[in-house]
Amino acid sequence: MTETRPWGTFEVLHEEEKCKVKKLVIKPGQKFSLQTHEKRSELWTVIQGTGEVTLDDEISQTQAGMIYFIPAGVKHRLENMGTEDLVVIEVQTGSSFSEEDIVRYEDVYGRV
């Protein structure tokens, strides 16, 4: 089932006790909140589009084929800077995948 968020959509591809895999589609001009997680780490594999990845204070350009590991506790954000959808496969590992494990620091959608 595909779920809609202010920045685009996601679909859970696989889920078990210690792992969750999602397909994320970030629409052009949209971005995630700047956030951390305490109980999970994430691995992002960019499969389509271009954008910007923020990991703590470091911002870098991204494109298809690039991979990012985001340890628990690291501030992170993904932004679509292009004109087509930015598609990412996200693998979450840890002890909790709930929305309560999101600490937002900045958010253009008013969720802070």
Q: Let me know: does 58 contact 52? Beta carbons within 8 Å.
A: no
Other beta carbons less than 10 A from residue 28's beta carbon = 15
What average pLDDT does the segment 75-89 reach? 97
pLDDT score for 99: 87
Q: Let me know: does 32 contact 25? Beta carbons within 8 Å.
A: no
Cα(77)–Cα(80) distance, integer angstroms: 10
For residue 66, is pLDDT > 90?
yes
What average pLDDT does the segment 70-86 reach? 97
pLDDT score for 19: 97
pLDDT score for 85: 98
State the pTM of this model. Answer: 0.95
User: What is the CATH number assigned to the segment(s) 2-106?
Assistant: 2.60.120.10
